[in-house]
Chains A and B, each alone.
Chain A
């Protein structure tokens, strides 16, 4: 017996335990691979942000108060729906996903507000400028949320 009281750990039993650890890691990896809700919500929120930027540029300037309220409400409802879906559906949070998501969110928010400020400063409304800006707004959170890295 060793000090642990579980008997001497032989190389064979150590190998068995390493096998159990390997199997456990594979189980964890398999669960992480199936964790789709977080990445999906990241993409949806990215798309909503990009779409809201385009709405702010193209629709808000000429929108009636009611139309503006509908647009803003639709955006807010979309965010709430995405958050609710995440909270109801999430079973596994991949390692490091939260940090990546938060970084992506901060960057997307930064781009969004810079682009929004730009929309007030310049009269340019060409899709050649605003579509790429909407994509750049959506990309950080979408990419950060869908990236998979193992620990």
Chain B
């Protein structure tokens, strides 16, 4: 038994490629996600003390319940296949695709396409940036609720 015997050395959808997707995801994130954009906006507007209210730390992209739910679900796994997540969240292909496109553009989710046999499959991974954004967003929401 050698390391090459391990699962992951298959040609498609392998454990190794899953690792590559997980580790590559943060690096593939575009630099100008909403969180960074929000930070830039805050900096441009001057004194941070003017924006101490937690609502200023809310991530605009994650104010959509569907997107937030998707990101939260992805936070519990390294990788989830598109169809599985679609069925679980109970949204249509088009809705999920549209929401994922926005999350991918922000660098929050990495999308990897591949084949299992002849069947195309799409794998979704929450990026490191997406995880940070989710945690900050949830903290801001909790602060808003706590300050009620």
Chain A positions within 8 Å of B, measured between CB atoms, are 2-6, 8-11, 14-18, 20-25, 27-32, 35, 41, 45, 48-49, 52, 75-76, 79, 82-84, 86-88, 90-98, 101-102, 105-106, 108-109, 112, 150-151
Contacts and interface: CB of A to CB of B under 8 A. Distances in A.
Interface SS of chain A? helix
A88 B81 CA distance: 12
Nearest to A78: B5
Interface residues of B, number: 55
B3 A41 contact: no
B63 interface: yes
A21 B75 CA distance: 10
B12 interface: yes
A112 B2 CA distance: 10
Contacts of A20: 65-66, 68-69, 72
21 contacts: A2-B56, A2-B58, A9-B141, A10-B144, A14-B142, A15-B141, A15-B145, A16-B65, A17-B62, A20-B69, A24-B73, A27-B88, A28-B76, A29-B76, A76-B5, A83-B7, A83-B10, A87-B13, A87-B116, A95-B76, A151-B76
